[in-house]
């Protein structure tokens, strides 16, 4: 597997650090003292994270550690019980998922949630929805603006699909795609919303090693081309250690370690909680 | 026979236009809006008032009725259904039935119980003579044409425009759509707006074809259109059209050749038979296109 060169992490104000290259640029995401309770159960507590403008960060931890819950908090599927989430410097308190999406956060899902009956291109166009500047009535009466904007969206959709070499599948129904392609389409759909931070929930789940390798290259390519940050949940340690510049380890809803891949690999607490059981 | 068939298609076209409202709302909001039939009645009364009391020309009265029904549909959704977005479907259903009675009784208070004689919009136009001597009323021609035009526009709208695609996305997965930046509440409002606007058109056509207007005018056609939507496969736009037209034809033929008293029983009997063999309706296959 091709590994990214290890980057140096530097401390920034607050208990966070970012890759040196992102120093001086505003943090794309900053969460402080984040927590949520479900009834009496403390699902996530004292979650602090700062993500640099072009950082690739891994969120790992055993099953049930609260990783997807954190994605749901960041995208406002759940309103946090405690703490703050700042996206691009804006407090997202009481914002809706649509509003935080417009602030620049987009995600994929652990269990694929494509719009099955829509075509590949239409799925991407759903992501482009808020970037198409024509009125609904212009769509009904098919005014010139409708044609112009739909043409633009069509070209943009093909361009985005081309990142994964999927442009020739544009007219195919989403549910007829093979599994790996569905995962890739979810990433394209999320990218179409124009995020500054892309949340990937187990992007390599169910992929074979060569597909995973290709995915790693594509995640890096997306980051470089779009200059965005990526936060990913993943169980595939080759992928996590291969592309993440920083890693956050979660167990029982709390962060137990943060650092570079080599720091995490050498951390005895992490090995005990997580890696130890997976090394075989 | 030809005349009956055309009358049936004409009545069926009106059912189809109403059924679109049921089917779109069901497809997107996953609820049965039983107040839909009463929006038809409001459309009838509003256009009646504009034409009879204010002498507004018919086409403008129709547009005004559409505008008012659209606002009414959005308001009903906001006030009655939106607070129940996460409630059980039974609670929403009961609310919809309540809303239906609310509209009927409001109409009773505003316009009284006495039937109103709806003006004939097409009084200056002669009935058309068909080959074989059958006469076709202008309202039949207008209903069939309107149905076709509406169906084409709606199909293009849902398949080709961003709002139409958003509607289909919301119909499949509200949560995922929200996270892709689709405003689900606005999308549902739009669905109610379209359905209610179409209900106004249906109201005018219905009252022109059967010119007595009462607070309960909308309920029977509403139920039949709902039947048509289920018949064709609820959630499917072409299903609503096919279901509506078949229902209209069956009803008129049964009335003409079997018994006018039994016509409704036969219509619903056919529905029961179809549902036994095709529980998801004619076009409602395992995989079907929802609005």
A99-110 pLDDT, tens per residue? 999 999 999 999
pLDDT at B127: 72
B169 close to A (CB below 8 A): yes
Most B CBs within 10 Å, among A74, A95, A96, A98, to test the B interface: A98
The residue behind tokens 């298609």 is B9
A140-168 pLDDT, tens per residue? 888 999 999 999 999 999 999 999 999 99
Count of CA atoms in the C-beta half-sphere (13 A) of A216: 22
B window 64-123, beta carbon within 8 A of A: none
B182 close to A (CB below 8 A): yes
A233-268 pLDDT, tens per residue? 999 999 999 999 999 999 999 999 999 999 998 888
How large is the average pLDDT for residues A104-119? 95
Nearest to B183 among A75, A98, A116 (CB): A98
How large is the average pLDDT for residues A177-186? 93
Indicate the pTM of the whole model: 0.88
pLDDT at B288: 47
Q: Which domain covers residue B201, as residue numbers?
A: 2-277
Q: In this structure, are residues A28 and A52 in contact, taking their beta carbons and an 8 Å threshold?
A: yes
Look at the alpha carbons of A18, A26, A102, A138 in this order and tell me if their dihedral is positive or negative: negative
Q: Is the pLDDT of residue A278 over 70?
A: no
Q: What superfamily does domain A1-104+195-280 belong to in CATH?
A: P-loop containing nucleotide triphosphate hydrolases (3.40.50.300)
B197 close to A (CB below 8 A): no
Rounded Cα distance between B200 and B196, Å, is 6
B150 close to A (CB below 8 A): no
In this prediction the ipTM stands at: 0.86
Degrees (nearest 5) of the Cα angle B21, B23, B25? Answer: 65
Nearest to B179 among A97, A150, A153 (CB): A97
Most A CBs within 10 Å, among B162, B183, B186, B285, to test the A interface: B162
Output the domain CATH number for residue B154: 1.10.3470
A143 close to B (CB below 8 A): no
pLDDT at B239: 92
- Considering A227-231, A267-271, B124-128, the range whose residues carry the highest mean pLDDT is A227-231
- Verify whether the Cβ–Cβ distance B162 to A132 is below 8 Å: yes
Question: What's the Rg (C-alpha) of chain A?
Answer: 19
Q: In this structure, are residues B14 and B209 in contact, taking their beta carbons and an 8 Å threshold?
A: yes
Question: B289 in a domain, yes or no?
Answer: no
Rounded Cα distance between A212 and A215, Å, is 5
Per-residue pLDDT of chain B (291 residues; tens, 9 = 90+): 788 899 999 999 999 999 999 999 999 988 999 999 999 999 999 999 999 999 999 999 999 999 999 999 999 999 999 999 888 989 999 999 999 999 999 999 999 989 999 988 887 777 777 666 677 888 888 999 999 999 999 999 999 999 999 999 999 999 999 999 999 999 999 999 999 999 999 999 999 999 889 999 999 999 999 999 998 988 889 999 999 999 999 999 999 999 888 889 998 898 888 888 888 888 875 544 455
Terminal-to-terminal C-alpha distance of chain B: 35
- Verify whether the Cβ–Cβ distance A113 to B176 is below 8 Å: yes
CA A272 to chain B, closest CA, distance in angstroms equals: 35
- Verify whether the Cβ–Cβ distance A125 to B161 is below 8 Å: no
pLDDT at A280: 43
A118 close to B (CB below 8 A): yes
Nearest to B157 among A125, A140, A153 (CB): A140
CB under 8 Å, gap of 24 or more: what pairs does A2-6 form? A2/A213, A2/A216, A2/A217, A2/A242, A3/A241, A3/A242, A4/A56, A4/A220, A4/A242, A4/A243, A4/A245, A6/A260, A6/A261, A6/A262
Count of CA atoms in the C-beta half-sphere (13 A) of B87: 14
pLDDT at A276: 55
Q: Which helix (H) or strand (E) holds A42?
A: strand A41-51
φ, ψ at A31 (rounded to 5°): -115, 135
How large is the average pLDDT for residues A52-58? 95
pLDDT at B137: 84
Helices B89-111 and B219-232 sit at what angle, rounded to 10 degrees?
A: 150
The per-residue b/e assignment along A198-209, b for 16 or more CB within 10 angstroms, e otherwise, is bbbbbbbbebee
Question: What's the Rg (C-alpha) of chain B?
Answer: 19
* Count of domains for chain B: 1
Question: B76 in a domain, yes or no?
Answer: yes
- Verify whether the Cβ–Cβ distance B169 to A136 is below 8 Å: no
Alpha helix segments (H runs only) across A75-228: 97-103, 120-128, 136-140, 144-163, 179-192, 209-226
Which of B214, B217, B183 lies closest to B199, judged by CA? B217
Nearest to A102 among B169, B181, B289 (CB): B181
Look at the alpha carbons of A88, A90, A96, A98 in this order and tell me if their dihedral is positive or negative: negative
Question: B7 in a domain, yes or no?
Answer: yes
Residues of chain A with CATH 3.40.50.300: 1-104+195-280
Q: In this structure, are residues B121 and B48 in contact, taking their beta carbons and an 8 Å threshold?
A: no
């Amino acid at each position: 597997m091709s590994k990214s060169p290890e980057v140096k992490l530097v401390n920034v104000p607050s208990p966070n650090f970012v890759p040196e290259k992102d120093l001086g640029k505003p943090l794309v995401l900053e969460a402080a003292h984040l927590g949520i309770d479900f009834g009496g159960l403390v699902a996530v507590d004292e979650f602090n994270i700062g993500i640099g403008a072009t950082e690739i960060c891994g969120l790992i931890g055993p099953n049930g550690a609260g990783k997807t819950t954190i994605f749901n908090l960041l995208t406002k599927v759940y309103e946090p019980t405690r703490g703050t989430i700042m996206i691009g410097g804006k407090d997202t308190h009481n914002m809706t998922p649509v509003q935080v999406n417009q602030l620049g956060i987009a995600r994929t899902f652990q269990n694929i949630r494509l719009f099955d009956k829509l075509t590949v291109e239409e799925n991407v166009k759903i992501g482009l929805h808020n970037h198409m500047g024509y009125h609904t009535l212009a769509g009904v009466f098919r005014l010139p603006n409708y044609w112009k904007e739909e043409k633009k969206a069509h070209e943009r959709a093909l361009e985005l699909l081309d990142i994964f070499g999927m442009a020739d599948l544009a007219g195919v129904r989403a549910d007829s795609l093979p599994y790996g392609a569905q995962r890739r389409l979810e990433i394209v759909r999320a990218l179409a919303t124009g995020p500054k931070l892309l949340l990937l929930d187990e992007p390599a789940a169910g992929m074979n090693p060569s597909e995973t390798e290709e995915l790693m290259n594509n995640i890096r390519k997306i980051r470089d081309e779009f200059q965005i940050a990526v936060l990913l949940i993943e169980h595939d340690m080759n992928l996590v250690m291969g592309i993440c510049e920083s890693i956050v380890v979660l167990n029982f809803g709390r962060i137990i370690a943060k650092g570079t891949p080599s720091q995490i690999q050498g951390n005895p607490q992490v090995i005990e909680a997580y890696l130890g059981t997976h090394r075989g | 026979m030809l005349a009956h068939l055309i009358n049936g298609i004409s009545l069926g076209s009106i059912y189809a236009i109403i059924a679109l409202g049921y089917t779109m709302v069901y497809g997107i909001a996953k609820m049965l809006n039983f107040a839909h039939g009463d929006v038809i009645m409001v459309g009838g009364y509003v256009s009646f008032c504009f034409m009879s009391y204010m002498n507004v020309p018919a086409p403008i009265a129709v547009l005004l009725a559409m505008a008012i029904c659209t606002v009414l549909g959005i308001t009903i959704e906001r006030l009655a259904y939106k607070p129940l977005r996460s409630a059980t479907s039974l609670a929403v259903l009961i609310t919809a039935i309540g809303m239906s009675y609310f509209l009927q009784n409001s109409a009773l208070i505003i316009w009284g119980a006495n039937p109103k004689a709806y003006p004939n919009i097409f009084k200056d136009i002669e009935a058309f003579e068909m080959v074989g001597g059958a006469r076709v009323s202008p309202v039949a021609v207008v209903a069939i044409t309107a149905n076709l035009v509406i169906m084409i526009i709606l199909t293009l709208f849902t398949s080709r425009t961003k709002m139409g695609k958003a509607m289909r996305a919301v119909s499949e997965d509200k949560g995922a759509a929200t996270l892709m930046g689709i405003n689900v509440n606005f999308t549902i409002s739009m669905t109610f707006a379209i359905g209610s606007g179409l209900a106004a058109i249906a109201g005018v056509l219905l009252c022109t074809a059967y010119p007595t207007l009462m607070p309960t005018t909308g309920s029977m056609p509403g139920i039949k259109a709902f039947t048509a939507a289920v018949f064709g496969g609820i959630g499917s736009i072409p299903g609503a059209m096919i279901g509506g037209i078949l229902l209209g034809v069956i009803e008129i033929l049964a009335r003409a050749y079997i018994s006018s008293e039994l016509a409704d029983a036969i219509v619903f009997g056919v529905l029961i038979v179809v549902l036994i063999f095709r529980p998801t309706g004619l076009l409602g296959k395992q995989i079907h296109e929802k609005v």
